[in-house]
Amino acid sequence: MDVVTLSRIQFGLTTAFHILFPTLTIGLAIFLVVIEFLWLKTRKEIYYRMYRFWVRIFAINFGVGVVSGITLEFQFGTNFALFSEAVANVIAPLMAYEGMTAFFLEAGFLGIMLFGWNRVSPTIHFFSTCMVAAGASLSAFWIMAANAWMHTPAGFELVDGRFMVTSYWDAIFNPAFPTHLAHMLMASYETSAFAVAGISAWYLLKGEKVPFFRRSLALALIMAAVCAPLQVLIGDLRGLNVAEYQPAKLAAMEAHWETNPEGRGADFVAFAIPDMEEEKNHFEVVIPELLSLLITHSADGQIKGLKEFPRDERPNALVLFWTFRAMVAVGFLYLLVMLWALVLFLKKRLYDTPAFLKTLIVIQPLGFIATIMGWITSEMGRQPWTVYGLMRTADSASPIAAGNVVWSLTLFVLFFGLIGASFFYYIFKTLKKGPDMDSEIPPVQLLAGMEPFGEAQESMEVK
C-alpha cells in the first residue's frame, strides 16, 4: 500500500477512536453544568452527589479524549503535508483559534473542576464547570468549521495551487458549516443523554440507589427529549445541504445511479448492495418517487445520479449507502424510544417499566455508533477529494516513505486497542462502585440551608 492509502487508514482510525470521547465530553459537560446549577439553586445534597459521581466518568473520558486528539493535530503535518501546505492559510488559523479559545479553556479550568473542591467557593467551582463545557463546545465550533470548509470551500482564491484566503468570515461560515456543526453538537448531546440514561436504567433495574438514579434518568430523558426530534430535523437540513453542494455524495448515500427523467420522481432505495464496478444495485428494494419528495420536497424533482459523475470522482456507494442508513436508523430509533418515554411519563410509569429500562440499556451504545457512521458517511463521501472538487486526496499526502506509516499505524492500533480496553475496564469499575453517598462534603462547598440527601429522598418518594 502507498502512503496515501495508509495515511487515510491511520487518520480514519485515529479520528474514529478519538471522536467517541469528545462526543461524551461535550454532552456530559452540559449535563454537569445543569446538575451543578440545580445543586446551587435547590441546595439539595442529591445534586452534589450526582455531580461527584458523573464527574468521575467525565474525567476518565476527558483524559483519553485529550491524548488521542493531539495525534490528529500532528497528523495534518506528518501525514498530509502537501494538503496542509496548500490549505494552511485558510484552515490552520481556525485550528490555532481552537487551541487558544477552546483547549486552554477546558484544560485551564479542568484542574479546578476536578481538584478544586477544597480550595474554591461553590460559585467559582460552578463557573469552572461552565468554562469547561464552553471550551468543549467551542472546540467543536472551530474544528467543524475547518472540516466543513473541506466539504464546501469558500472565502479563498487559488494561486499556484495554494488556497489564499480572501475572507475568514466566508471561510468559517461556509455553506456546510451551520448544519455540520449543529448536527455534531446535537449528536454529542443526544449520545451523552442516552449514555447517562442507560447507566441510570441499569441501576434502577438492579434496584440500587433508586432515588439517585431516578433523578439522573429524569434529567437525561429531558435532555434526550429535546435532542431526539431536533436531531432528526437537523439531519434533514444537513441532507439538503449535501444535496445542494455535494450531489455526488448524495447520489452515493442513496445508491442513486441514474438521473430521474423529467416528470418522474427519483425512487428511494430502501435496500440494496450497490456495485461500483457494474454501476448498479443488486437486490434492490425501492419506494417509488420518495427520494425526490425527501430531497426536493416535490414529487418529480430532479436528482443527479452517480453515473453523471466521472468514475474517478465518485465516492464509494456501497459504504455510504449503509453507513448513512445505519446512522439514520439510530436517529429514528431514539426518536421512537422518546415517544415511548412520553407515553410512560403520561401514565406515570417511567421508572418502573422494566422493558423500557432494558431498552435504554441496550440502545445506549448506538449513539456512539451512529456518530462514527455519520463521520464515515461525511468523510468518505468527500472522496476522492480533500478539498471538495479542488484538491485530490491522492495529491495530499506527505513526501515520506510508506514504511513510516506502517510503523505508526501498527502502534496506533496496538496502543489505542490497549487504552480503549483499559478505558472500558475503568469506566465499568467506576460504575460498579457506584456513587459515593456518605463522604464528607468539603466545608467550603457547604451551602446554607442545604437539604440533606435523606430528606430529598423522602420528598421524592412522596412524588
Give me the 384-403 binding string for other proteins, x by CB under 8 A, dash otherwise. --------------xxxx-x
Residue 93 has φ and ψ, to the nearest 5°, of -60, -30
Q: Distance between the two ends of the chain, CA-based, in angstroms?
A: 64
Sign of the torsion angle spanned by Cα atoms 281, 283, 288, 294? negative
For the chain, percent helix, then strand, then coil, each to nearest 5? 70, 5, 20
Selected from 236, 304, 426, 460, the binder of other proteins by CB under 8 A is 426
**CA nearest to 228, candidates 177, 187, 200, 199:** 187
Contact between 302 and other proteins by CB under 8 A: the answer reads: no
- Least distance (Å) between residue 295 CB and other proteins: 36
Q: Does residue 173 interact with other proteins by CB under 8 A?
A: no
- Does residue 410 belong to the site contacting other proteins (CB under 8 A)? no
**Which of 104, 237, 329, 452 lies at the binding interface for other proteins (CB under 8 A)?**
104
Q: Evaluate whether 255 touches 272 at the Cβ level (below 8 Å).
A: yes
Q: Among 105-113, 247-255, 297-305, 359-367, which window interacts with other proteins (CB under 8 A)?
A: 105-113
Q: Where are the alpha helices (DSSP H) in 98-121?
A: 104-115
Does the footprint of other proteins cover residue 161 (CB under 8 A)?
A: no
What does the buried/exposed string (b/e) look like for 187-224 if buried means 16 or more CB atoms within 10 Å of the residue's CB? Answer: bbbbbbbbbbbbbbbbbbeeeebbbbbbbbbbbbbebb
Q: Is 419 in the site for other proteins (CB under 8 A)?
A: yes
> Residue length, the chain?
463
CB 131 within 8 A of CB 30: no
* Under rule CB under 8 A, residue 437 binds other proteins: no
Query: Which of 6, 34, 35, 120 touches other proteins by CB under 8 A?
Result: 120
- Residue 36 binds other proteins, judged by CB under 8 A: no
- Report the residue from 12, 63, 211, 434 that binds other proteins according to the rule CB under 8 A: 63
β-sheet bridge partners, residue 135:
none
Whichever of 87 and 181 has its CB closer to other proteins, that residue is 87
Residues that bind other proteins (CB under 8 A): 55-56, 59-60, 62-64, 66-68, 70-71, 73-74, 76-79, 81-82, 84-85, 88-90, 92-93, 95-101, 103-112, 114-120, 164-165, 168, 398-401, 403-404, 407-408, 411, 415, 419, 422-423, 426, 429-430
